[in-house]
Amino acid sequence: MSSRLRKSLGLWLLLLPMLLWICLLFVFPHIKLFVLSFEDRSGHFTLANYANFFNNSLYRGVFVHTVEYSILTTLLTLAISFPAAFLVTKVLGERTKAIVLLAIVLPYWVSELIQVFTWMVLFRETGIISYTLQALGITHHSIEFLYHNWTMIVGLVYTSLLFMTIPIINSLETLDDSLIEASYDLGGNFWTTMKEIVIPHSMPGIMVGSIMVFMLDLGNYVTVTLLGGKNSMWFTENIYDQFIVRFNQHQGSAFSVVLLAFSVIFVWALLKITGQDMSEAM
């Protein structure tokens, strides 16, 4: 056996556990999901599951609502993460940078469920915010902050910050500080430097972070259910309802395929519009 063949065989043996893991947890389940979406309860081929989505204004409305709020949440997360990433990489000293990075990462050492429960303690009618407002005399009765769209957005932004901030930090770390200094030496101001140098250089990180956050928010269930309640109108709740409540895995599979297909098409279109290459960004 030649040396090249041995190296190739060794590489595939190293990749085999990962490939099996991907196939078992991603490829095979999605193939099964796709097949189920074209079957009725008797196992016969049908397009009725997809027709139920496109012909039902309620399902379409919930889907559009989910997409709109996922985009809004992604933009808000970017608006918070980009300044934080810039401060960490280009403004703060090494010791302060380490402390800030720890503060960013530390909340994510606990599960998303515990993070959401924390927000529920803050927002509920007998929670800390309502109690504080009464103690300060701003209001004379308790206020229920939960189960509104804006509380749901707060939770989604909070649980997504890390996935936006770290890719942008990685991109900005490779930006030579001398380029920023040269911009100021040539008469550029802060906004010009940001527009012409910093943002274009960090665009791969911005795109990766935005894609990750958008996909996570679009498919989120825990945060929107606990903070939004029955008013959340999130499409994943419809999928859960079909699978768990109505025991209609065929309709639930169709909804899942619609959500997955839209996610892929949306991300592909976004990359094309912005002129970004996913392989280069990654």
pLDDT at 99: 86
At residue 62, the pLDDT reads 93
The Cβ of residue 202 has, within 10 Å, a number of other Cβ atoms equal to: 25
| Mean pLDDT of all residues belonging to the chain | 87
pLDDT tens track for 228-252: 877 778 999 999 999 999 899 999 9
Mean pLDDT over 3-20 rounds to: 80
Q: Residue 261 in contact with residue 270, Cβ under 8 Å?
A: no
- The mean pLDDT value for 129-136 works out to 86
Return the pLDDT at 83: 93
Handedness of CA 248, 249, 252, 253 (dihedral sign): negative
- Please tell me which residue, 207 or 231, carries the higher pLDDT value: 207
Residues 23, 25, 27, 30: what is their CA dihedral angle, to the nearest 10 degrees? 160
The pair of three-digit structure tokens given for residue 280, joined into one six-digit string: 């280069």
Cα angle 188, 193, 199 (rounded to 5 degrees) comes to 165
Return phi, psi of residue 61, to 5°.
-65, -40
Q: Report the distance separating Cα 212 and Cα 146, nearest Å.
A: 26
pLDDT interval class at 282 (50, 70, 90): low
The pLDDT score that the predictor gives to residue 25 is 86
State mean pLDDT over 15-40.
89
Least confident of 96-105, 146-155, 246-255, 260-269: 96-105
Mean pLDDT, rounded, for 222-230: 86
Task: Give all domains of the chain, ordered by start, each with its CATH number.
Answer: 1-36 (no CATH), 51-281 (1.10.3720.10)
Q: Say whether pLDDT at 122 is over 80.
A: yes
**pLDDT at residue 80 above 70?**
yes
More confident residue, 281 or 155: 155
pTM for this predicted structure? 0.88
Q: Over 60: is that where the pLDDT of 281 sits?
A: no
Mean pLDDT of the region 189-195: 87
Q: State the amino acid at position 277 in one-letter form.
A: D
Q: Bigger pLDDT: 274 or 152? A: 152
User: What is the pLDDT, as a whole number, of residue 8?
Assistant: 77
Q: Give the Cα-Cα-Cα angle 59, 256, 248 (nearest 5 degrees).
A: 75
Position 111 scores a pLDDT of 84
Whether 279 shows a pLDDT value over 70: the answer reads: no
pLDDT at 92 (0 to 100): 81
Can you give the pLDDT at residue 85? 92
The rounded distance, in Å, linking the Cα atoms of 133 and 118 is 18
pLDDT surpassing 70 at residue 2:
no
How do residues 31-75 score in pLDDT, each as one tens digit?
999 999 999 888 889 999 999 999 999 999 999 999 999 999 999
Per residue in 168-182, pLDDT (tens digit) is 999 999 888 888 888
Mean pLDDT check: name the lowest of 52-61, 133-142, 194-203, 259-268: 133-142
